[in-house]
Amino acid sequence: MARPREFDEEQALNAAVEVFREHGFEGTSAVMLTESMRIGRQSLYATFGDKWNLYLAALRHYSSSEVTAHLATVRGQSDGYAGIAAFLDRVVHEAHRGCLGIGSICEFGDTESEISQIRQTMGSVLRNGVAEQVRIAQSEGHISPDLDPESVVDFLLASVTGIRIAARGGADQAHLASLKEMALRALR
């Protein structure tokens, strides 16, 4: 008879996310994972299969959590433009912590179909939510009606990527905030 799990799987997955955020897939060892997750090697493999499947589970978990938090932020403001500004503020505030989504792009590009599928699925949800706020902001007169909402979303997500990479490269909060302000100015 198999022994019941003696650890909280979600807590272990959150710990794995943090390790992968900081070190990427290749830079992360099984020892780093088991120490951070506070589980034995056998539990890691019995629960997640292998390091690759754990990475995919961590990426799914991280992506879902981040998209949910981004959408709550962008939708939780008084108007569409304020929602977009709050979304970018959240990115600036969190930018010094590695982004597992962007890290997966830098490490794997589009060479791994499982990773691409996770990014496409969650990216679509985020894109739709941000595009909705862009349209609201346009109807309120805060964003130029001449701009295509989908192109604005492309620009905003590219700005998010730039902010996160600048942070990983050592940019300070003032620099990241100025990047956010430039992105917002471009929408007028």
Residues 158-177: pLDDT tens digits?
Answer: 999 999 999 999 999 999 99
Number of domains in the chain: 1
Residue 175 within any structural domain of the chain: yes
Residue 5 within any structural domain of the chain: no
Residue 159 within any structural domain of the chain: yes
Buried b (16+ CB within 10 A) or exposed e, 136-147: bbbeeebbeeeb
CATH number of the domain bearing residue 80: 1.10.357.10
Mean pLDDT (the chain, rounded):
95
Q: List Cβ neighbours of 8 (8 Å cut-off, separation of 6 or more).
A: none
Per-residue pLDDT band for 1 (boundaries 50, 70, 90) equals very low
Residue 39 within any structural domain of the chain: no
Range of the domain at 126: 59-185
171-178: Cβ within 8 A, 24+ apart: 173/92, 176/92, 176/95, 177/92
Per-residue pLDDT band for 5 (boundaries 50, 70, 90) equals low
Residue 173 within any structural domain of the chain: yes
